[in-house]
Amino acid sequence: MTKETKIKVRGYHLDGYQHVNNARYLEFFEEARWAFFEESDAIKTLQKQNIMFVVVNVNINYRYPASLGQTLTIKSKLENLAEVGGKKSTFQQIIYLEDTDTVVCDAIITFVLFDGKTQRAIPVTEEIREMFVGELSN
């Protein structure tokens, strides 16, 4: 399942060159990941268990400068949910200029499930995998 999120470029997103500052793209990607799971029953269940997503690696490519007033479309896809017993999963995220095929930026975001009680990454269980696979197939 791919989720689309739209963000309008504002003045405070810009750097001295009048295009979106490179660090802002990380915020845009994060906003889109939150939107991806916003209504997810799986996320709500994990939050009740004090389990959260923690980013452990970001691989990002800057391809085209976005500027003031443009609207960006961020496409987010849970590309790889770790197999049972595994810990690392990945999101593929791509930012386009709205209504075009112009790629502004793309990234592979690697994350783990993190237990808030033990302060450690935890492996994906069969139960967790089934929650997400069920939701992602809808």
Most confident of 14-18, 80-84, 123-127: 14-18
- pLDDT at position 12 is 97
pTM: 0.89
pLDDT digits (tens, 9 = 90+) for 83-96: 889 999 999 999 99
| Of 13, 108, 29, residue with least CA distance to 67 | 13
Q: What is the mean pLDDT of residues 17-29?
A: 97
pLDDT at 37 over 70: yes
Structural domains of the chain sorted by starting position, each given as residue range(s) with its CATH number in brackets: 2-136 (3.10.129.10)
Task: Indicate if 99 belongs to the active site.
Answer: no
Q: What is the mean pLDDT of residues 49-74?
A: 96
The single residue of 15, 99, 106, 115 carrying the catalytic annotation is: 15
Q: Residue with structure tokens 């709500």? A: 44
Q: What is the mean pLDDT of residues 61-66?
A: 98
What is the CA angle 134-130-33, rounded to 5?
65
15 contacts: CB under 8 Å, gap ≥ 6? 21, 22
pLDDT digits (tens, 9 = 90+) for 24-33: 999 999 999 9
In contact, 96 and 75? CB cutoff 8 Å: yes
pLDDT at 134 over 80: no
Structure tokens at 109: 């975001």
